[in-house]
Chains A and B, each alone.
Chain A
Amino acid sequence: MNAAGQLWTLVWTFALMSFFAVGGANSAIPEMHRVAVDVHHWMTDKQFADASAISQLSPGPNVLIVTLIGYSVAGVAGALAAMLAMCGPTAFLAYYVRGLLRRSSGSRWPAILQAALVPLSIGLMAASALILALASDRSSAAAMLTIVAAALAVSTKLNPFWILAAGGLLGFAGVV
């Protein structure tokens, strides 16, 4: 496929996906994995797991993984195209809906919609965790590291950065 064609594919893939990302970027990770690894073969399972790790490691919103997928497809232009497609349309939608809501306050529908969408978005994030676990936890030591990281994050107020750094150190030392 030519360069323009690839950019176009990135744009419409992520623009469409963003409207189905209920509860945020983490909810769309299974779909990103499906599209990038299974459908278009933009990256391998391992590269996808790496992209997710890099996006966690850099500061900023979780949606950054989209920049990395775009970059692997078409360099800097791909990164920009994918990120703007993922973030732009829904931000405009939020801006527009906010205006609408201010004019018609007092409706019960926002509360019902929210209550209905919360379980969906948690289910999607759980699926994200499963898919990333299958891609990253290739040994029992690796699975152990994941479980300990989860336990630490649930039970302490440790900055997530230190948990990631500890994981990186254990990986560097060849433990996982």
Chain B
Amino acid sequence: MSPDSQPAAVPEPDLSAPNPPNPPGLAELFFAFARISLAGFGGVLVWARRGIVEQHRWMTADEFNETYALCHFLPGPNIVNLSFVFGSRFAGFAGGLAAFTGLITPPMLIAMVLAALYSHYGEIDALRRTLAGISCAAVGLLMAVVLRMMMPLVRKRDVAGMLTLIAVFLAIGTLRLPLQVVLLIAVPLSLLITWIMRRREAA
């Protein structure tokens, strides 16, 4: 059986199925995540969802969201964390490792080739100008992500959340304080505020 063989003629996707009919093996995990990482320009999340939920049906949309939420509140690169957690669901630690290496190996090779080219030709004027243009656009993309993520807070009129956001932005962005110091103060404080607000809402 080829690893790509689709389940033949599934009329209606059974989104409530807790376990997929065809759990992936190690090689399949590696190649699926390699493909996901190579498709993803400017972020892999969309492609991960498409590959895992829609194409392979290895997880339901809800399971995917739940796993992503877990990986989002844990520190570290989210999608990389997700690959490990995802792979381990099907094939234990080895499965996690297979998905993890699949996700990071191909883009790393590409990035190293680009880095080598940059260190040889980075001083060429046309390339410098092109990269400068790309980085301006890249900053714009990042600003767009920030704006989109901020909208729910604004819509909910979450004043405490907005103040926390601004305080962290000023501390890191303008005062340039070390990340560790800022987070060691901000995380407990934000937890306390959130907990108090929830209790007040519940009361």
B44 in contact with A50 (CB, 8 Å): no
Using A53-B135, A119-B165 as known contacts, say yes or no to A63 and B77 having CB atoms under 8 A apart.
yes
Closest A residue by C-beta to B73: A114
Using A61-B79, A87-B104, A91-B80 as known contacts, say yes or no to A127 and B140 having CB atoms under 8 A apart.
no
Instruction: Give Cα A168–Cα B198 distance, bound, in whole angstroms.
Output: 47
Q: Is A62 an interface residue (CB 8 A)?
A: yes
- The count of chain B contact residues (Cβ–Cβ below 8 Å) is 93
Neighbour of B134 across the interface among A23, A123, A164, CB < 8 A: A164
Q: Is A4 an interface residue (CB 8 A)?
A: no
- Our count of residue pairs bridging A and B at CB distance below 8 angstroms stands at 361
B118 in contact with A50 (CB, 8 Å): yes
Interface of B is mostly: helix
Which residues 112-164 in B have Cβ within 8 Å of A in the complex?
A: 112, 114-116, 118-119, 122, 126, 129-150, 153, 158, 161-162, 164
B84: which A residues are within 8 A, CB to CB?
Answer: 91-92, 94-95
Which residues 72-126 in A have Cβ within 8 Å of B in the complex?
A: 72, 76, 79-80, 83, 86-87, 89-95, 97-98, 101, 110, 112-126
A30 in contact with B173 (CB, 8 Å): yes
Q: Is A133 an interface residue (CB 8 A)?
A: yes
A171 in contact with B72 (CB, 8 Å): no
What's the minimum C-beta distance from A62 to chain B, rounded to whole angstroms?
6
B173 in contact with A122 (CB, 8 Å): no
A62: which B residues are within 8 A, CB to CB?
Answer: 43, 77
Using A31-B178, A61-B103, A116-B194 as known contacts, say yes or no to A170 and B40 having CB atoms under 8 A apart.
no
B78 in contact with A113 (CB, 8 Å): no
Using A52-B138, A130-B173, A167-B137 as known contacts, say yes or no to A117 and B104 having CB atoms under 8 A apart.
no
Q: Could you tell me which A residues sit within 8 Å of B by CB distance? A: 16-26, 28, 30-31, 34, 38, 47, 49-64, 67-68, 71-72, 76, 79-80, 83, 86-87, 89-95, 97-98, 101, 110, 112-133, 135-138, 142-143, 145-154, 159-161, 163-164, 166-172, 174-176
With A87-B77, A94-B70, A118-B153 already in contact, 4 other A-B pairs whose C-beta atoms are closer than 8 Å: A98-B70, A126-B165, A150-B144, A168-B130
